[in-house]
Amino acid sequence: MAGPKVATITIAFDGTEYTVSAGRTILVALEEAGLRFVRGVGCRGGVCGACTVLYRMRDAHPLVAGLMCQDEAKHGMEILSLPYIPQKKAVHRMELPPENSPEYQVLSLYPEVNNCVMCGECSRLCPVGIDVMGYVGMIKRGDLRSAAQQSFTCVQCQACVLRCPSSISQPNAALAARRFHGRYREAPAEHLAKALEKVESGHYRSLFRKVRRLSGVEFQALYQRREREPDDAPPGTWLPEDRSLI
Amino acid sequence: MEGLNHFPEALRESARLVVKTRESRLTALRRGESYPSLSLSDRRAWLEEFHPDYRADSCRPLTLGPNQGDLVPCELADLLESWPRHAVSRHFALSRRSHSAAEGDPSALAPFSKQVKADLHTDVLVIGGGGAGTTAAIAAAEAGAKVLIVTKLRHGDSNTIMAEGGMQVADQEADSPVQHYLDTMGGGHFINDPDLVESLVSDGPRVLRWLEELGMLFDKYPTGRMKVRHGGGTSRRRLHASGDVTGLELMRVLRDHAESFANIRVLPFHPAVELLTDDNGRAVGAVLEHLVAGDRLPTIQVVHARAVVLATGGFGRLHFKKFPTSNHYGALADGLVLAYRAGVPLRDLRYCQYHPTGIVYPDRKIGLLLTEKFRGWGAQLLNYHGEEFVFGLEPRDVTSAAIIRECTEMGNGITTPSGRVGVWLDIPLIDLLHGRGTIEREFPGRFREFIGKGIDLRVAPVLTYPTLHYQNGGIAIQSDGGTDMPGLYAAGEVTGGVHGDNRLMGNALLEILVFGLRAGRSAARFAQNNGEGSNPGVSHLESFMEALHEKAAGQHRTSPRLLPSYGKSGLPA
């Protein structure tokens, strides 16, 4: 294909060197070089954690974790693919044993968070910029709300697990923290409970029958007549003029 | 100008015009003024002229099978009219010869009637490990069935995990399932299956409650009230979100919950490549291909099941008309191929959904999404001159057509150095409208991702263009998730009828839950009431291959394709 000439760089993947176009993600650069992935590629959008890699720049000492679909290939990268990282997963349901608080339950499922030596390696490695060590501390202190917020964008790539000297499975502990927080510490949605009651009482059955009996023309006219709720009305306050469908 | 330095000169000039018009646009918004929305007849006119799939050359009629004569995208038609994969042909000794030609030679017919020994047995086989499949597995397991999930990649690798903006549920005081029904039917151009839509909207509050009990996090006020926003084509605010990573949060929770069932087993890297049917035309299992078997393990695995749930998702990675896609690596229409070969009818496949705001610049993010939630919070679509040209929350197909119109007929697009064209999504407007910190709080995933690459969404607009996003139609199902074939159920993106010709934002996450639960329950019930199939095999391929031989003998394509091949050609230019 004719076009402006693209600069090339050299990267090494699993020990083999490839000359690739500059300005590509690691994934696209390797695919263009002829590699075809089965393992180690997932969403290609930075949210699934399938394409986790460790890499080092030649001439530099730190080992860095990245996602192949997100990180740009740079000259001199030496890349190790990590499509699967075995680690601890506590199997549990959401019911609490008697007298266990949600905070204590998370700690009972993942007691090894208490062994954190605060080396900070997990936070340094995280390819999506989460302060992993920070949320481990929050779980230790029983602050599930903060832990849930801090870990919220975790893509479960498990890179943090790799270099933890205390063998903590941080992403799984965070998952438990978020779920127990969501179930027990977030206020339940009362309006949802009411809406559910109304549906289950059969309230809408006759209304559906009525609407579904309309002719095509009548139904489309009803659609065109819809009132649009204002974007910024205070929650739960606005009501339409025509309330025949609610 | 501050915050625009990452743009090359070609884009910076127009980006400055966006900044220049921002104040007056903000003033208009504060006065409650918005760009007028289109009438139904104007919508139709713009779609017919500018939507990629309304063009005559984008589709062709199917030449065989239950939907013979129906128009579908050319690339999909080719896939549906392809031979079984080589590994399958070898394993079952299938011959591409026409059977009419081989009359009198009984050996040509023998392979089809051959009984197939099973490597694995289960009550309910779930094909696909995304949101719909996992939900179906949970429902079937709760009903007491032994469940096997087989999935092409890892458990959870799916379009579900990539969903950003949210899920529609009618739970507010001003709303009702009937109102939701009206919005959904109109968005789909009134051709949706009314029974399916009524099921979808009516189960909404129940599944949202279920997710709350599973500990899924939603954007909430301290009182517990859900924060809701508008999506394109909605008349009520009913979009429930978990930041801008709603699908990720949903998939993390569903997968975690599924792992707590001792009667659910997951087999990753084992895509289904054919269905198994029995003498009575019932689905009784599937043929799997082990993608990482190596030389010493059998490539083909045969599963016998009492009921099957197809939940293989969509087809974005087929890159119709060379569009980039927002879909995950494995979205290649496998389920449509399997079902169609077995004679199961499909519907509503002519029009695909192009998400209006796929990223155009920077190049390495091409095709990925900026969620509709941005527009729900007030971000506007702007042309080269920093002017609005469409109401940003029309149904998706209309908004996409409007963007394409602005870039082609109107000539007001912005061209990148690599030759792509797009329009601006003015995200910084959100903080001005709702206060500083809103973008960071409501869109933590995208905000962190962009700031990590030196782009600050609080000050810089992003260049976008429609991207291939969603399979509107698919396998025809009934309200219980059942298909035309006994024992075969389907749920999620692989199915058709729920969304008509165009899905509304937030109805996909709802659909995978509602119909995942329904299909899983129905499959478990079917498995309890029916024994093993008699003579499981691939005899359904016999008539399919005969038709293929007659209609398309000269070609050698095989399907399902399983994974895209990007090699030297790279992503579509």
> Does residue A180 fall inside a structural domain?
yes
pLDDT of B573 strictly over 60: no
HEC string for B68-83: CCCEEEHHHHHHHCCE
> Does residue A95 fall inside a structural domain?
no
Structure confidence at residue B1 (pLDDT): 57
Q: Phi/psi zone of residue B454: left (φ > 0), alpha (ψ -120 to 50 degrees), beta?
A: left
What mean pLDDT comes out for the span B358-374?
Answer: 90
Q: Are residues A146 and A124 in the same domain?
A: yes
- What does residue A191 show for φ and ψ, rounded to 5 degrees? -65, -30
- Residue A18 one-letter amino acid: Y
Cα B268 versus chain centre, distance: 20
- Residue B545 one-letter amino acid: M
> Does residue A229 fall inside a structural domain?
no
Secondary structure of residue B331 in the 3-state scheme: coil
pLDDT of B107 strictly over 50: no
Q: Is B292 on the interface with A (CB under 8 A)?
A: yes
pLDDT tens sequence across A56-101: 999 999 999 999 999 999 999 999 999 888 999 999 999 999 989 9
Dist. CA B567–CA B323, nearest whole Å: 17
Which residue is associated with the tokens 């905000």?
B447
A contact residues 49-108, partner B, Cβ 8 Å cutoff: 50, 70, 72, 89, 91-94
Domain ranges of chain B: 9-55+354-467, 65-88+132-352+471-563
Q: Are residues A13 and A73 in the same domain?
A: yes
- Residue B479 one-letter amino acid: S
Total domains in chain A come to 3
Question: CB distance A48–B326 less than 8 Å?
Answer: no
Local confidence band at B12 (pLDDT 50, 70, 90 cut-offs) = very high
pLDDT of B101 strictly over 60: no
Q: In the annotation, is B375 catalytic? A: yes
Q: Which residue has the higher pLDDT, B481 or B107?
A: B481
> Does residue A227 fall inside a structural domain?
no
Q: Which residue has the higher pLDDT, B296 or B17?
A: B17
Q: Are residues A65 and A113 in the same domain?
A: no
Average pLDDT over chain B reads 93
pLDDT of B452 strictly over 90: no
pLDDT of B552 strictly over 80: no
Structure tokens belonging to residue B460: 């810089």
Structure confidence at residue B117 (pLDDT): 86
| Dihedral sign from CA coordinates of B209, B517, A44, B460 | negative
Q: Is B225 in contact with B240 (CB distance < 8 Å)?
A: no
From the list B183, B249, B448, the residue facing A129 with the nearest CB is B448
> Does residue A109 fall inside a structural domain?
yes
- Residue B374 one-letter amino acid: F
Q: Is B125 in contact with B307 (CB distance < 8 Å)?
A: yes
Interaxial angle between packed helices B246-258 and B131-142, expressed in degrees from 0 to 180 and rounded to the nearest 10? 30
Secondary structure of residue B16 in the 3-state scheme: helix
Q: Using alpha carbons, select from B227, B332, B446, B206 the residue that is nearest to residue A201.
A: B206
Asked if omega into B395 is within 30° of 0 (cis), the reply is: no
Q: Are residues A179 and A206 in the same domain?
A: no
Percent of chain B predicted with pLDDT > 70: 95
CATH architecture type of domain B65-88+132-352+471-563: 3-Layer(bba) Sandwich (3.50)
Structure tokens belonging to residue B565: 């091949």
Return the exposure string of B364-392: e unless at least 16 CB atoms fall within 10 Å of the residue's CB, then b.
bbbbbbbbbbbbbbbbbbbbbebbbbbbb
pLDDT of B11 strictly over 70: yes
DSSP notation for chain A: --SSPPPEEEEEETTEEEEEETTSBHHHHHHHTT---STT-S-SSSSS-TTEEEEEETT----EEEETTTSBP-TTEEEEE-S----------SPPPTT--HHHHHHHH-GGGGG-----HHHHH-TT---HHHHHHHHHTT-HHHHHHHTTT-----HHHHT-TT---HHHHHHHHHHHHHHHTSPP-HHHHHHHHHHHTTTTHHHHHHHHHS-HHHHHHHHHTPPPPPTTSPTTT---S--TT-
- Residue A121 one-letter amino acid: E
Q: Is B253 on the interface with A (CB under 8 A)?
A: yes
pLDDT of B32 strictly over 50: yes
Q: Using alpha carbons, select from B328, B221, B247, B312 the residue that is nearest to residue B274.
A: B312
Q: Are residues A199 and A138 in the same domain?
A: no
What mean pLDDT comes out for the span B289-316?
Answer: 94
Structure confidence at residue B10 (pLDDT): 87
Q: Are residues A195 and A179 in the same domain?
A: no
Q: Using alpha carbons, select from B133, B474, B66, B135 the residue that is nearest to residue B271.
A: B133
Q: Is B157 on the interface with A (CB under 8 A)?
A: yes
Structure confidence at residue B523 (pLDDT): 98
DSSP state of B571: S
pLDDT of B420 strictly over 70: yes
Find the DSSP H helices in B51-176: 74-80, 86-92, 106-113, 131-142
Catalytic one among B229, B306, B355, B521? B355
Percent of chain B predicted with pLDDT > 90: 84
Secondary structure of residue B572 in the 3-state scheme: coil
pLDDT of B340 strictly over 90: yes
Q: In the annotation, is B355 catalytic? A: yes
> Does residue A176 fall inside a structural domain?
yes
Local confidence band at B362 (pLDDT 50, 70, 90 cut-offs) = confident
Dist. CA A83–CA B334, nearest whole Å: 23
From the list B157, B202, B245, the residue facing A50 with the nearest CB is B157
Structure tokens belonging to residue B199: 């099921």
Dist. CA B140–CA B135, nearest whole Å: 9
pLDDT of B387 strictly over 50: yes
Local confidence band at B494 (pLDDT 50, 70, 90 cut-offs) = very high
| Dihedral sign from CA coordinates of A183, A189, A194, A198 | negative
Dist. CA A29–CA A39, nearest whole Å: 17
Q: Is A144 on the interface with B (CB under 8 A)?
A: no
pLDDT of B82 strictly over 50: yes
Fold topology of B9-55+354-467 = Flavocytochrome C3; Chain A, domain 1 (3.90.700)
What mean pLDDT comes out for the span B332-336?
Answer: 98
Tell me how crowded residue B541 is: count the other CB atoms within 10 A of its CB: 23
Local confidence band at B57 (pLDDT 50, 70, 90 cut-offs) = confident
Out of A81, A116, A132, pick the residue that ends a domain.
Answer: A81
Four-point Cα dihedral B155, B159, B160, B162, nearest 10: 110
Examine the predicted complex and report whether its ipTM is higher than 0.85.
yes
What range does the domain containing A18 cover? 8-81
Please report the number of interchain residue pairs, chain A to chain B, with beta-carbon separation below 8 angstroms. Answer: 237
Cβ-based contacts of A24 with chain B (< 8 Å) = 364
Q: Are residues A106 and A178 in the same domain?
A: yes
CATH code at position A155: 1.10.1060.10
Structure confidence at residue B293 (pLDDT): 86
> Does residue A89 fall inside a structural domain?
no
Structure confidence at residue B112 (pLDDT): 59
Q: Using alpha carbons, select from B233, B252, B235 the residue that is nearest to residue B172.
A: B235
What mean pLDDT comes out for the span B278-287?
Answer: 96
Q: Are residues A157 and A117 in the same domain?
A: yes
Structure tokens belonging to residue B501: 């010709």
> Does residue A156 fall inside a structural domain?
yes
pLDDT of B324 strictly over 50: yes
Q: Bridge-partner residues for B41, per DSSP?
A: none
Which parts of chain A have pLDDT scores under 50? 1-2
